[in-house]
Amino acid sequence: MEDTLKRLLSVEIEAEQLVEKKQAEREQIIQQALEQAHKAEQDFQATIPKLQASYLEKAAQRAEQSIVALKKRYEEKQEYWRQLSEENQQQALDAAVQLLMQVGKV
């Protein structure tokens, strides 16, 4: 019976040691996961300025393209109004001459 008790005690001690070993491994795995998550967060934080710079550069390019397009439309409208003014200038002069001639007759 004493051998059985010794064996049971030995098995219990081995079981406790195994549990402690597995708990230590579990803690080590948790620590590694936390370190990896922390490193991933630091890496992400480090890339934020690059991402912001990229977005700002793209926004500046789009703004420049919009400015160019607006200038082009403005110049086209300006040219349209200049041509219209030139086309109607002679008609306006003729109408003014007619009015002046009618005023002189009255």
Domain span holding position 61: 1-106
Q: What is the pLDDT of residues 73-97, one digit of tens each?
A: 999 999 999 999 988 888 888 888 8
Report the alpha-carbon distance of residue 90 to residue 98 in Å, rounded: 12
Written as one letter, the residue type at 52 is Q
Mean pLDDT of 67-78: 97
Is the pTM here over 0.85, yes or no? no
Q: Is the pLDDT of residue 106 over 80?
A: no
Number of domains in the chain: 1
Q: What pLDDT is stored for residue 4 in this prediction? A: 86
What b/e readout covers 23-52, taking b as 16+ CB neighbours within 10 angstroms? eeeeeeeeeeeeeeeeeeeeeeeeeeeeee
Tokens for 1, please give them: 């019976």
